[in-house]
Chain A
Amino acid sequence: MRYLPHTEEEIAAMLAVVGRNSLDELFCSIPDACRFAEEMVLPEALDEWQLTRHFDRLAGSMVVSHRHQVLIGAGRYHHHIPESIRALAGRSEFLTAYTPYQPEISQGTLQAMYEYQTLTARLLGMDVANASVYDGASALAEALLMGLRISRKKSKVAISAATHPHYRQVVRTYLNAAGYEVVELPVGADGRCDLGEAALDEMAAVAIQSPNFFGVIEELTTLGETIHAAGALFVVSFTEPLAYGLLKNPGECGADIACGEGQSLGLPRSFGGAALGMFACRDKFVRNMPGRLVGETVDNQGRRGFVLTLATREQHIRREKATSNICTNQGVCALMAAMFMASLGGTGLRRLARLNYDKAGYGRAVLRRAGARMVWETPTFNEFLVEFPSDFAPVRERLRAEGIVAGLELGRFYPEHAGRYLFCLTETVERATVDKIAEEVQR
């Protein structure tokens, strides 16, 4: 086996040093009753070439592949990823390093994380961002737990029903376990969150996703004012951070915590993971923040360097009183996101965000002309919800045969939207594809 360097002679020599007669004898402290009686039942080992063929077969069984145009977003977005990022993030100096506990030989990871934190904070308009958490869903759960810690006295939080349905499920899993109550705020007639009658003053924190699950851009500033007036913390979540290249960012809108999924920034869809939980807050809350933080300092000769810092918040030191149990984060994903943000630059990010906005706008116009109805006419970023004049399923089937996966039916998430389709049009979708869909609808 090529990963195991030991020859039989070396094994014999090493066993002699440790005073054992066989490899089995090394396990003499393990009672027989704890042991496998026989070999584990696993498939026969494959060599590298067999393994490659096995994966060729798996890949071949994918009815929808990278050759398709998949017009689904809903928390996982298709954007172009420059080859430079794949090449750089694949460098084994980054990939095969552990968490940077020895800063003298981890400055590459540490500086890159410091830069990621900074770019994230700038993108979201916040003071400080951490070095990542698992994904957008657990980031939101962590944000609400953080809000409860800060408020101390309250035990309820509220969350917009236009938040990604899976995120709401994860939030319930995390918060119910700890004995907290999660209240859902309804979607109003314009597709935006309706704070309406909710008793916001009972809430430690209120979380609004924008753009929301339907792609609708929330009026965050107004929502934030109402939430703050009720004495609750204002959490803004997101699944499509690219939007902040064009829209007002959470910080500008008064958010206390901004968190969400960073996959859009240079990560492949990859069946939903690896993901990137982005997490940022105001300076005054930093000691309540979960996750690792990199800070600037100097070495013993006064040279600039970076270290993990404020570790006393974390599980390995504060144990059961820690701000979270998280240790392993999404390091390489954060690295890729930083590379993506650096490659785009401020100018490029704005252009790309604008292009996404315009594509969706074009899609809405063309489908409307084809007889479809937009469920809401409220501005959306790169997603929008459509109702077709007649059953869209057969049309969708025809389009798939031609390599286009046209939208996501929302009945399983929102029964009231059964038969309606959520479309996502990013820069990767050409005008001709949109025209083709409209044509098929009219056929």
Chain B
Amino acid sequence: MKGFDALLFGEELRYSEDHEWVSTSGETFQVGVSDYAQDQMGDIVYVELPEVGQTFAKGEQFGTLESVKAVSELYLPVGGEIVSVNPALADSPEQINSDPYGSWLVTIKPSDPEELERLLSVAAYRQLLQG
């Protein structure tokens, strides 16, 4: 597993305490998992994502990541409706390992865009990981 110094961060992103990241583009948010999360999971072999149109509250489980011998639940950092799911992940879930910040999981239309402000900044997330 990577040491802290080797971990990658997206400077412009917001983070949840469950190690998900959120980026904004206009009215929608993209959600993915952090480099730390993918590193902890090891080789990701399967991603289970919701259907477009489903709605989740903040903190609600919206999918799972699977490695060979572990299942990790995904919690939506900001409540909203699923607008799209990343189609590439069904066939190549390993993208999450190789490019965690390029491999978004879902795009959502947030029910309350203000919730973004309550997520961690990159500095705060770094601090969380350093304990």
| Direct contact, A vs B (beta carbon within 8 Å) | yes
Secondary structure dominating the interface of A: helix
Residue B66 at the chain A interface, CB threshold 8 Å? yes
Residue A318 at the chain B interface, CB threshold 8 Å? yes
Write out, one digit per residue, whether chain A residues 290-326 have a CB within 8 A of any chain B CB (1) or not (0): 0000000000000000000101100001100000000
Residue of B nearest to A311 (CB): B69
Residues of A within 8 A of B125 (CB): none
Residues of B within 8 A of A312 (CB): 46, 66-71
Inter-chain CA distance A312–B46, complex, in Å, is: 10
Write out, one digit per residue, whether chain A residues 245-273 have a CB within 8 A of any chain B CB (1) or not (0): 00000000000000000000000000000
Inter-chain CA distance A98–B66, complex, in Å, is: 26
Residues of A within 8 A of B70 (CB): 312, 317
Residues of A within 8 A of B66 (CB): 312
> Could you say which of B46, B66, B67 has the most chain A C-beta atoms within 10 Å of its C-beta?
B66
Residue of A nearest to B65 (CB): A312
> What's the least CB distance linking A404 to chain B, in Å?
55
Residues of B within 8 A of A311 (CB): 68-69
Q: Which residues of A (236-251) have their CB < 8 Å from a CB of B?
A: none
Q: Which residues of B (39-76) have their CB < 8 Å from a CB of A?
A: 46, 66-71
Inter-chain CA distance A287–B71, complex, in Å, is: 13
> What's the least CB distance linking B71 to chain A, in Å?
5
Residues of A within 8 A of B67 (CB): 312
Inter-chain CA distance A384–B66, complex, in Å, is: 49
Residue of A nearest to B64 (CB): A312
Residues of A within 8 A of B69 (CB): 311-312, 317
Question: Number of A residues whose C-beta is below 8 Å from B?
Answer: 6
Residue of B nearest to A307 (CB): B68
> What's the least CB distance linking B129 to chain A, in Å?
25
Residues of B within 8 A of A318 (CB): 71
> What's the least CB distance linking B88 to chain A, in Å?
19
> What's the least CB distance linking A283 to chain B, in Å?
14
Inter-chain CA distance A314–B102, complex, in Å, is: 31
Write out, one digit per residue, whether chain B residues 68-100 have a CB within 8 A of any chain A CB (1) or not (0): 111100000000000000000000000000000
Inter-chain CA distance A287–B47, complex, in Å, is: 12
Inter-chain CA distance A317–B73, complex, in Å, is: 13
Inter-chain CA distance A312–B70, complex, in Å, is: 6
> What's the least CB distance linking A103 to chain B, in Å?
12
Inter-chain CA distance A309–B67, complex, in Å, is: 11
Residues of A within 8 A of B46 (CB): 287, 312
> What's the least CB distance linking A214 to chain B, in Å?
43
Residues of A within 8 A of B68 (CB): 309, 311-312
> What's the least CB distance linking B87 to chain A, in Å?
17
Write out, one digit per residue, whether chain A residues 313-342 have a CB within 8 A of any chain B CB (1) or not (0): 000011000000000000000000000000
Residue of B nearest to A318 (CB): B71
Residues of A within 8 A of B71 (CB): 312, 317-318
Residues of B within 8 A of A309 (CB): 68
Residue of A nearest to B71 (CB): A312
> What's the least CB distance linking B41 to chain A, in Å?
11
Inter-chain CA distance A287–B70, complex, in Å, is: 14
Residue of B nearest to A309 (CB): B68
Q: Which residues of B (1-51) have their CB < 8 Å from a CB of A?
A: 46
> What's the least CB distance linking A210 to chain B, in Å?
34
Inter-chain CA distance A287–B68, complex, in Å, is: 13
Inter-chain CA distance A318–B73, complex, in Å, is: 11
Residue of A nearest to B72 (CB): A312
Q: Which residues of A (180-221) have their CB < 8 Å from a CB of B?
A: none
Q: Which residues of A (80-126) have their CB < 8 Å from a CB of B?
A: none
Residue of A nearest to B68 (CB): A311
Inter-chain CA distance A312–B71, complex, in Å, is: 6
Inter-chain CA distance A312–B67, complex, in Å, is: 8
Write out, one digit per residue, whether chain A residues 150-184 have a CB within 8 A of any chain B CB (1) or not (0): 00000000000000000000000000000000000
Inter-chain CA distance A423–B59, complex, in Å, is: 61
> What's the least CB distance linking A153 to chain B, in Å?
13
Inter-chain CA distance A311–B68, complex, in Å, is: 7
> Could you say which of A287, A309, A311, A312 has the most chain B C-beta atoms within 10 Å of its C-beta?
A312
Inter-chain CA distance A162–B66, complex, in Å, is: 41
Write out, one digit per residue, whether chain A residues 212-238 have a CB within 8 A of any chain B CB (1) or not (0): 000000000000000000000000000
Inter-chain CA distance A287–B90, complex, in Å, is: 13
Residue of A nearest to B66 (CB): A312
> What's the least CB distance linking B96 to chain A, in Å?
16
> What's the least CB distance linking A424 to chain B, in Å?
45
Residues of B within 8 A of A317 (CB): 69-71
> What's the least CB distance linking A169 to chain B, in Å?
34
Inter-chain CA distance A199–B116, complex, in Å, is: 48
A interface, CB within 8 angstroms of B: 287, 309, 311-312, 317-318
Q: List 15 A-B contacts (CB under 8 A).
A: A287-B46, A309-B68, A311-B68, A311-B69, A312-B46, A312-B66, A312-B67, A312-B68, A312-B69, A312-B70, A312-B71, A317-B69, A317-B70, A317-B71, A318-B71
Q: Other than the known A312-B70, A317-B70, what 13 A-B pairs have Cβ atoms closer than 8 Å?
A: A287-B46, A309-B68, A311-B68, A311-B69, A312-B46, A312-B66, A312-B67, A312-B68, A312-B69, A312-B71, A317-B69, A317-B71, A318-B71
* 5 tightest Cβ-Cβ pairs between the two chains A and B: A312-B66, A312-B71, A318-B71, A317-B71, A311-B69
